[in-house]
Chain A
């Protein structure tokens, strides 16, 4: 009896420590990002840093304006969602409500596999196949542009949107749909007027999750976007917040303003992700109330 109690206590401690690991990590990262990211923002000036349109970190008269990166990341995310949401949600509708069991059994693993493909592979294929294709299609002088990045991001956010939306659609109570059918609606009408509204919060959660992935992705977009610090344009070579950090970090000297500015970009990115997560939480909470 005593031994049992001791084991119980110990195990409780173990679980507590495990729980603390992730909390401690988040707390440490937050504190570190604030400490590492603030100096450059203060030195450059928050307005000049956030709204400056020129980034020339290594020139003799360095400029640290990250507005091009912020706008590029926002446009990249919006673009990926504009294409990805209809495709993703309709795929989820197909899988949950329309597909014959055999077809669904083939599509679902494919979607899951899509989620598991490492981002560098997306980047590689994008670089070798998509970039030249975009160049030829739009007769551009170079295919590495925001559009290529958006297309790659679209494919990458699809699995998030599809799997979360499908789960939400499947969770819609059968009675709702049966009632709709009983009132004379067709199956498609039922899906779009009853099932989707009922699963709304879950679908939005999937979309927000996809948005988070689009903002946070670095490797794949680095290989297809061109990485020049231009203000964003669909056919212009652009640099994202993530790639701005990734591409210059290895050469930035310790303690230099350039390195500190990269941490500041990280901090801005961190806030973006927090904002997206907060939105996600809100939608998930609303889902509970339904």
Chain B
């Protein structure tokens, strides 16, 4: 009996202590959150922007925009701690459908809307451009290819570089794995979907660059931002790949990253804030760092 009492008292004491500790913990953590949000609010008021938005912004769609949207939402959520931006990589078409039926606040697509989609009352806003560079080994003498030639090289219709003005050497296409946004972009722009004859399917841009740098017969596609001096980026239809030529549309191997919204329907406050942020000049560097070309 005595023992039971002792146990009971120990239990009560420990409960009280635990409760006190928990209270302490919660009070400190809540105060630190308050501090954080007030400091970020201060930052933002200087940027003349409201920080009162809160809630969820559901985005989703193209897998290719993952890096860009990830960078944008991370920065956005850093400034607006009360907002959560979610992104569901389900493919461009699913992004368009999601925007149409309202399951997504903003749909993401890595292509322009089709006419019938516009007819359904959807609106597109280009927030970034994706330039794809064609790279060859430094030893390759080919300087320029047309889109048609690129398609023929990729599908194995042309098997020797001499047919496009290069050395007498076999053509080796080095690409990305199925599902990669760069692969999807290349194949859709060049119009060779599911028809490419790959010699290697690698899982990163860096691996493609290394493989192309190490094989004089190789050519591959990489996002514009990752081209360096270890490989040679060729001109397409006489136009050099650069941020400027992608922006003014003269470089053909490009596609738009678009926000899909409903025409004439207002976004929620937090979605509008994210939308505005993505199109602001502050976001340009984020877009650039994520490997795409900003439009502002």
Chain A residues within CB distance 8 Å of chain B:
56-60, 127-128, 131-132, 135, 141-144, 222-223, 226-228, 237, 239, 246-248, 250-253, 258
List the B side residues contacting A60 at CB < 8 Å. Answer: 193-194
Q: Is the interface of A mostly helix, strand, loop or mixed?
A: loop
List the B side residues contacting A135 at CB < 8 Å. Answer: 215
Would you give 16 A-B contacts (Cβ < 8 Å), ordered by A?
A56-B194, A59-B193, A127-B210, A127-B211, A128-B210, A131-B211, A141-B172, A142-B200, A144-B199, A223-B207, A228-B200, A237-B199, A247-B177, A251-B177, A253-B90, A253-B91
- The reply to whether the CB of B198 lies closer than 8 angstroms to some CB of chain A is yes
Shortest CB-to-CB span from B220 to chain A, Å, is 11
Total interface residues in chain B, CB < 8 Å:
28
Please state if A227 and B200 are interface contacts (CB–CB under 8 Å).
yes
List the B side residues contacting A253 at CB < 8 Å. Answer: 89-91
> How many angstroms from the CA of A250 to the CA of B204 in the assembled complex?
11
> How many angstroms from the CA of A253 to the CA of B179 in the assembled complex?
9
- The reply to whether the CB of B170 lies closer than 8 angstroms to some CB of chain A is yes
Q: With A247-B201, A247-B203, A253-B91 in contact, is A57–B178 under 8 Å at CB?
A: yes
> How many angstroms from the CA of A144 to the CA of B214 in the assembled complex?
11
| Complex interface bits, B178-217 against A, C-beta within 8 A gives 1, otherwise 0 | 1110000000000001100011111100010011001101
Q: With A127-B211, A131-B214, A141-B217 in contact, is A226–B200 under 8 Å at CB?
A: yes
> How many angstroms from the CA of A258 to the CA of B177 in the assembled complex?
13
- The reply to whether the CB of B59 lies closer than 8 angstroms to some CB of chain A is no
Shortest CB-to-CB span from A248 to chain B, Å, is 6
CB-nearest residue of chain A relative to B199? A142
Residue among B91, B172, B180, B218 facing the most chain A CB atoms (10 A cut-off):
B172
Please state if B199 and A248 are interface contacts (CB–CB under 8 Å).
no
Please state if A226 and B177 are interface contacts (CB–CB under 8 Å).
no
- The reply to whether the CB of B110 lies closer than 8 angstroms to some CB of chain A is no
Please state if A222 and B210 are interface contacts (CB–CB under 8 Å).
no
- The reply to whether the CB of B63 lies closer than 8 angstroms to some CB of chain A is yes
- Mark out the residues of chain B between 143 and 185 whose CB falls within 8 Å of any chain A CB in the assembled complex: 169-172, 174, 177-180
Shortest CB-to-CB span from A69 to chain B, Å, is 13
Please state if A141 and B199 are interface contacts (CB–CB under 8 Å).
yes
Please state if A226 and B201 are interface contacts (CB–CB under 8 Å).
yes
Please state if B200 and A251 are interface contacts (CB–CB under 8 Å).
no
Please state if A59 and B180 are interface contacts (CB–CB under 8 Å).
no
CB-nearest residue of chain A relative to B202? A227
List the A side residues contacting B215 at CB < 8 Å. Answer: 131-132, 135, 142-143
List the A side residues contacting B63 at CB < 8 Å. Answer: 251
List the A side residues contacting B203 at CB < 8 Å. Answer: 222, 227, 246-247, 250
Please state if A252 and B179 are interface contacts (CB–CB under 8 Å).
yes
- The residue that A132 contacts in the complex, of B194, B199, B214, with Cβ under 8 A, is B214
> How many angstroms from the CA of A272 to the CA of B161 in the assembled complex?
43
Shortest CB-to-CB span from A145 to chain B, Å, is 9
List the B side residues contacting A247 at CB < 8 Å. Answer: 177, 201, 203
List the A side residues contacting B91 at CB < 8 Å. Answer: 253
Q: Which 7 A-B pairs have the closest CB atoms?
A: A251-B179, A141-B170, A59-B194, A58-B178, A226-B200, A227-B201, A247-B177
> How many angstroms from the CA of A135 to the CA of B90 in the assembled complex?
39
List the A side residues contacting B199 at CB < 8 Å. Answer: 141-142, 144, 226, 228, 237
